[in-house]
Amino acid sequence: MTLWVILVSFLIILSTGASIGVGLGLSSAIVLWAVQDMPLVVVVQRMFTSIDSFSFMAVPFFMLAGAFMSEGGVTRRIVDFSMALVGALAGGLALVVAVAGMFFAALSGSSAATTAAIGASMIDEMERRGYPRSFAAAVVASGGTVGIVIPPSITMVVYGSIANTSVAELFMAGFLPGIIMGVVMCLTSWVISKRNGYRGEGQFSVMRLLRTTRECFWALMMPVIILGGIYSGIFTATEAAAVAAVYGAFVGFFIYRELHLKDLWRTLLSAAYNTTMIMFVVGAANLFGWILTNAQVPHMLAQGFADVASSPLVFLMLVNVLLLFIGTLINASAAIVILTPILLPVALGLGIDPVFFGVLMVINLAIGCITPPVGLDLFVVSSIAGISIDKVTVKVLPYLATLLISLVIFTWFPSIITCVPSMMK
């Protein structure tokens, strides 16, 4: 009874256009009040308890760091550097989007933030240079997927907190697959551009590359400082987030000087708004998952997976299918909160490394963001570009296909994900 009421009410609430967090929280409250006859104060208690964690302090700091860097002129410099690096190749601007997405992912930790930042500056520019607007939107949406794979990743922070797994190891494990995904999208863009006659932008110039590298140096140093500090043991992931926020403010105010005191309130408000959305979704998802756990749903699903999965590889393939579908429906952080307690015990029972499993979950949910018909990043880029989602969907299919091939390779060869943390031990 609990399962049916919470799922049906959740779907009905979403169909009204409500956000994911509201749907999770309100459907949970309905079940507690109407089915389980529990006081509604439990809703607030469970939501607050679920985010009352030292690890979750990294979320607002990474959001603030991303806001400072974005407002401080970093996005433009990253695009200029990417243009100097790959702009001369066929489909230069499409390659620039993929490369810029990888660099901005190392600053923002968010798929939606990466998509929005790159899309706002590149979609119109690509259209002016002769690219179809729908293709430009598809390139931006695909490039945004690495936002939660390349560290620092807010979704990995959430997984580490739920699974009691080292966030530093998760960051290390996400680095190589994130780079591979970015390279795969570059190759896809190059093949499509060659086929359609999309030309590069000018000639490659070493001097231009050196100049843009110098201008972008302070932005590129941010992930080096964050990841270097974490991997060397100087500070934890949460402390690294605070360092990143201070560094972002320093670069914006004193190095690039494009961040001013009059912009400070707007920047702080933007970071607070984005943090509130994520933490509300995580809290509501935890409440949703708690109700499902009390109803023995995780136990039943885990038993079903254990019965069907004859080997770790079969289990992982089933998980891939499930997560790709879930990723089209709900926020990645919410999916992590709900599904980790269900799937991780089965994975551990099959001898699967929790760090590998966490990164694989994140990759799945990242790809799910551009999986038709309702991938969340498709809606983000559709709104930015001002075109219908079906036009973006058609153009995003080649990128989706190559990313799915990459996913199968990661699943089949787990050492691609685990090799970096293994070397750092």
Polymer length in residues for the chain: 425
Report, as an integer, the average pLDDT of 70-90. 81
For the residues 76-97, what does the mean pLDDT come to?
83
Environment class of residue 197 by beta-carbon count within 10 Å: exposed (0-12), middle (13-18) or buried (19+)? exposed
Measured CA to CA, the distance from residue 353 to residue 351 in angstroms comes to 6
User: Positive or negative CA dihedral for 229, 419, 366, 338?
Assistant: negative
Longest dimension (CA), the chain: 70
Q: For residue 55, what are the CA distances in angstroms to 50, 59, 165, 258? A: 11, 8, 11, 31
Locate all alpha helices (DSSP H) within 72-91, ordered by sequence: 74-86
Which pLDDT score, from 0 to 100, does residue 374 have? 62
Does residue 77 register a pLDDT over 70? yes
Q: 352-371 burial by CB neighbour count: b if 16+ within 10 A, else e?
A: bbbbbbbbbbbbbbbbbbbb
Higher per-residue pLDDT: 95 or 328: 95
Query: Residue 408: is its pLDDT beyond 90?
Result: yes
pLDDT tens-digit map of 251-272: 888 888 888 888 888 888 888 8
> pTM, whole model, 2 decimals?
0.82
Nearest to 95 by CA among 198, 218, 171: 198
Instruction: Please write the tens of the pLDDT for every residue from 316-374.
Output: 998 998 888 888 777 788 788 888 888 898 899 889 999 999 999 999 999 988 887 66
Query: Is the previous residue joined to 373 through a cis bond, with omega within 30 degrees of 0?
Result: yes
Using the predicted structure, report yes or no on whether residue 167 has a pLDDT greater than 90.
no
In whole angstroms, give the CA distance from residue 128 to residue 110. Answer: 28
Nearest to 184 by CA among 282, 102, 93: 102
Who contacts 36 (Cβ-Cβ below 8 Å, separation ≥6)?
A: 2, 291
Mean pLDDT estimate for the chain: 84
pLDDT per position as a tens digit, 170-209? 988 998 999 999 999 999 999 998 888 888 777 888 888 8
Q: Which of these ranges, 35-44, 376-385, 400-409, 411-420, has the smallest mean pLDDT?
A: 376-385
Rounded CA gap, 323 and 320, in Å?
5
